[in-house]
Every structure is written in structure tokens, then in C-alpha cells.
Amino acid sequence: MTRIYLSLGSNVGDRAANIARAIEALAPYGVHVTRQSSLYETEPADVPADLKNQPWFLNSVVEAETELAPAQLMRTLLKIEQSLGRERGVSKGPRLIDLDILLFGLQALRTAEVEIPHPRMALRRFVLVPLAEIAPEIRHPVLKKTAAEMLDLANDNVEVHKFVF
């Protein structure tokens, strides 16, 4: 089994329920969640001016174990997104659910299908805040910095607040 970290986000409909359904959908594919961060409400990041007015996201990070290979895991996440109703189209637009592989064991991998670690994770507070909550000492296999260190260095200025139901 390989320990992995996944980022989950939603800004359409019942955001918390969308994330919960995505987490539940992982187990039948052999992805066993061992820890989950709190939910965080975050403003949309890296979006063009014409998409700035979309709803804020709920984001979370999960730690899980799997025997899937990285490409299999990526295909699984895309399948789960589609099964939950995600429509791929406008890049950086509103999303019912968004699932990303952040870390896959200690691997660094770049193929046409998947890039691990996630290429922008070290720059994104909406990823680093929940990751540092559950795994502050986990190290980025390329940058060699912990989640807590990357969070201290991140300067994207995106608002990230713990979500209260």
C-alpha cells in the first residue's frame, strides 16, 4: 500500500455533501481514507477576471492508502468526478467536485496523464492549510520542504477560513 494525499474541492450546490460523496466513492476503487482535514472555505484562486464572481470553494485534504498505480489513481479520480456530475469544460470555472493527487508516496512522476507531486501545490494556501493540518511534517519529494514549511512560504493571498456548519 502507498500512502497518498488528495485534495478535494467544490463550489457548486451542497459543497460539503459533494466532498463527502467523493470521499465515500473512493473506497470501492481501493482507496482507503485514513485521515481527513477540516473543511476550509476559500476564495477562488488562479481564476481570470471574468470568473472571479463564482462562489467560494470548500476544500479538504485526505490521507489515504492504495495499491493503485499513479495513472490508475488519476483515472479513478476522473471517473469519480464524472459519476458525481462534474462537467469538464471551462478551465478554472465553477466545479461540482475537483479531485487532485497531491502526493503519492515519495514519488516524483511526470507523464501525459499525471504529474506528481501536484505541480502547483506548494503555491496554494487552499491546499497547504488542510494538508498541514493533518500532515505538517510530510515532505514534498522534490522541494524537500514539509507541508508546514511550504505553508509558511506560500504567498498567494487567497483567503482560507475553517468552515463552520
Active site residues: 86, 95, 98, 100
Place of cell 516524483: 108
* All three cell numbers of 119: 505541480
Query: Distance (Å, rounded) from C-alpha 62 to C-alpha 8?
Result: 8
- Roughly what angle, to the nearest 10 degrees, separates helices 70-83 and 15-26? 140
In contact, 10 and 97? CB cutoff 8 Å? yes
Spatial CA neighbour of 47 closest among 87, 11, 92, 8: 92
- Percentages (nearest 5) of helix, strand, coil residues in the chain: 30, 25, 40
User: Cα-flanking dihedrals φ and ψ of residue 99, to 5°?
Assistant: -120, 130
